[in-house]
């Protein structure tokens, strides 16, 4: 799937700050927005493990995977929605 045909929601946006699992605060519009509804024209994709070249999804466990850049054995467990703003190993896929 490419970035152009992927459907994004507010929780994928760099401007979104989560309040709880269902809603968050938009720093552009200065208001609460639902986590899983369609984005606006100001959308900026946030760095997350699911968009990183180093992330490999677990084929059997949904919403789980590993970081291939991890130096530990076994490799560091990651999940697709993990925000990677501070990760030094993040590589935009």
Phi, psi of 4 (to 5 degrees): -70, -30
The residue among 44 and 92 lying less far from ligand SF4, judged by its C-beta, is 44
- CB burial readout 71-86, b (16+ within 10 A) else e: eeeeeeebbbebebee
The residue among 33 and 66 lying less far from ligand SF4, judged by its C-beta, is 33
**Binding footprint of ligand SF4 on the chain (CB under 6 A):** 10, 13, 15-16, 26, 28-29, 33, 39-40, 42-43
The residue among 13 and 67 lying less far from ligand SF4, judged by its C-beta, is 13
């Amino acid at each position: 799937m490419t970035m152009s045909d992927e459907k994004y929601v507010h929780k994928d946006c760099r401007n979104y700050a989560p309040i709880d699992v269902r809603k968050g605060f938009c720093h552009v519009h200065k208001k609460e927005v639902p986590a899983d509804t369609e984005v606006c024209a100001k959308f900026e994709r946030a760095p997350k493990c699911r968009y990183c070249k180093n992330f490999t999804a677990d084929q059997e466990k949904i919403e789980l995977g590993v970081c291939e850049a991890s130096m530990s054995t076994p490799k560091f467990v990651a999940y697709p929605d993990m925000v990677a703003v501070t990760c030094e190993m993040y590589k935009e896929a």
